[in-house]
Structure 1
Amino acid sequence: MARKGSKGSTKTPIDPHTLEIIHEYILGVANDSSDLREPHLRPSLTETYELVIFAFSLLIVVGFVSNLIVFYAIIRRKMYRDTTQAFVLNNAICDIVKCLFVLPLSAYVLLVQNWVLGELMCTFLPMIQDIPMHVSTLTFTLMAWDRQRFIRNPHQTRFPAFVCCFGTWLTSMCLVLPYPLYIMYVDIGNYVEELIGVGICIYNLVDDMEEYMRGIFLTMYVAPMILVSYMYVRTSQKLRNRMKTSAKGVRMSAEGYINGHRLLQRDTKFADGSINSRSTSENYQGNEEDVEHIPRRVPKLNVLQEKRNQGYLVFTVSVYGICMCPIMVLRLVRFYLVETYDSSGIIDVVYTVFVWIAFAPVCITPLVHIVWQFSCLYDTPRCLKGAEIKHSGDTVDILDSALSASFQRRLYSDDQQPLSTGSSSLIDGSSGSCRES
């Protein structure tokens, strides 16, 4: 084959036998009549390509619509003020990017045997595919870390959500920067006159890409999944301990209230250190500006709500980890597989299925979040207000809110505004708590 010479030089036409070999190398079949400048389906997917297109189209449509609903709900209700919901918003944006850009390109590359997208896409396509994946992994890791700190100490300052979200994108971009070093594009048109515009996009065999992929597998899948699992286990244990402690304390202090007796006498400590008993507080008739001298009740962690939130978050990250496992393992072991014309068809089918499974969380995650929000709206403690109390451990926050409301009614007169005792949760627009009418 003649190389491209100086200006004015012409390329030597290639003989039919060599052209047939190139066709067989690129398409897997010896057919010199087909135009390599046009996309050709992979031979292993010629009978199932319609099913592949339908499966990926289903992911794109359902994932885009559901994530758009989550995005609109969080923005409309201003739930992004809560750190956890801000991370959910970041993951929804990431999934929208996957549906609009990554999934269509991935489906096209999986279906088409020859490379006709040019040198630029050959270099940047792996980067476009991996950036959203790394963003989701880092988002789930930071979300688990922030929740562990929050459950352990609810009054501790939480992570700056939007700074962390921007950091996930920046870190992901930095992690994929080595890709151009390991991708090589061969423009066949520089050597063969009949194949202008045809290229081959392959791994650069000179540099060791295996080490890079092994590092990505360990740092962006194995380590984050282990850390997230550990942090969620510790968080769940902390919630169970808080539930037991709160149930024991409320059962002792609210026993009289449950049996219809009067509440136990409580003392109110003012800012100057003086203490007023209940009998003095219930006769309080001071001015409105004097109310500021009475300290507000410290917000109490809503254990029931956080336990429910924990369940949804654990389910979401578990689905993500399980769906990502096949493709991450296959990308790692593919360097050890000897691909032949006989085995390439099986590898293509397996790789297509694993890629679809890896992108399945773009539909599952937003649907879980939608169910999560509806469960908070329709399964709040106010729905149980007239129900029979069967288990004291499940009524901690109901009893606590009832005691607080009764104490405030005794503390202030009717013409004064009671102090807020709302609990901290994830759903309210400003503080993240479920709204009660």
Structure 2
Amino acid sequence: MNEITIGFILIGILFALLASGFWVAFTLITVSIAGLMMLGNDNFGLLYTTSTWGAVSDWSLAALPLFIWMGEILFRTRLSKDLFEGLTPWLSRVPGRLLHVNILSCGIFAAVSGSSAATAATIGKMTLPELKRQGYDDKMAIATLAGSGTLGLLIPPSIILIVYGVAAEVSIGRLFMAGALPGLMLVIMFMGYTAYWSSKHGDGIAQQTKQYSWKEKFSSLLRLVPVSVLILFIIGSIYAGLTTPTEAAAFGVLGSLVLALGSGSLSFNSFTESLMGAVKTSCMIIFILAGAAFLTMAMGFIGIPRMLAENIALLNLSPYTLLFLLTIMFVILGCFLDGISVVVLTTSVVLPMVIEAGIDPLWFGIYIVLVVEMSQITPPVGFNLFVIQSLTGRDILFVAKAALPFFFLLVAAVFIVTVFPEIVTWLPNSMSKG
């Protein structure tokens, strides 16, 4: 059988297993074994051990469980309450008022958790009941949370950027720098849309009853100091070249433990729960990465990446046409897989085409994360939608419809960074020159 025939058979096996609910990691391993057997190669046991050991023993991956643990610790502290009470006085006169708390809180928490699901769950548990109690439009409250929750994938330290950096052999520190400006751009776009919506739908905004003095506003900022210091230290130390992402993650864990202890939230139970939560999530991700590494090796033996790259080159597609087709593919995949699975499943196959088309792998990492963000709020398997559904008890279609405007804002963000790639590349390039 030639590469095309084997490729179609493997795609059929892949989607059949995924549709049956088979674990993603086991699916990748099964598809790899099937491909090697079609070639008559029965040394898949040896190939599996050699390929996966190289993938999961990469020192860069040490940052992954540490950042996850940091997010788990902060998830169990008073951080969310402090964020709400610290931001509320400053948003009292902004169109949309407390709806912006969802956006800013998600942006701040994303910078210390690195997880989209943790961001949406943590902020949603605190803000949604309060917004409903004060009479804000339920649909818009859900929409701002669903859209802003995706910031956990982009704003550094991002777990999915670490995964992409390892899979694509791109500097994780440079990826963190590249994600900063697009993340800030998304926060501004989300706040701009919310302000516009609020100006058109005044009946969906609670009337301001309390006036805050300047003294109250500045005193409220004290609640944001601990987490702000932690964020600035982690990101600043990486940008300044003082620490590696792994070292910064270790300091982040230490800092989050100090915050939890200082807030009185750290107990033996919360410590063990955070540790076990980090272990479970890290093991899941590492297992998927191991399966993806095995699949990459199997695809190399079959010759599918080389064949695809050569055929793409023969088609003479422009970079924009290639990106348009890849966007459609990633959104479709994101309807069935979580973001990390999409990245590890496609990177080995897609990256040769991207490089062949002359697209910067650093820029492509931010692009793929933006597209995966879109998939987090598209049914039927938008992870943020399920998180918010569990918080609100609302129907999944109601949540998805509410989040639709923010989906289009993410589409616009993809378009903007494609037309103006300097938004992604300027900061890492300028820091490396400096």
The TM-score, its normalising length taken from structure 1, stands at 0.25
Larger fraction in helix: 2
* TM-score, normalised by the number of residues in structure 2: 0.25
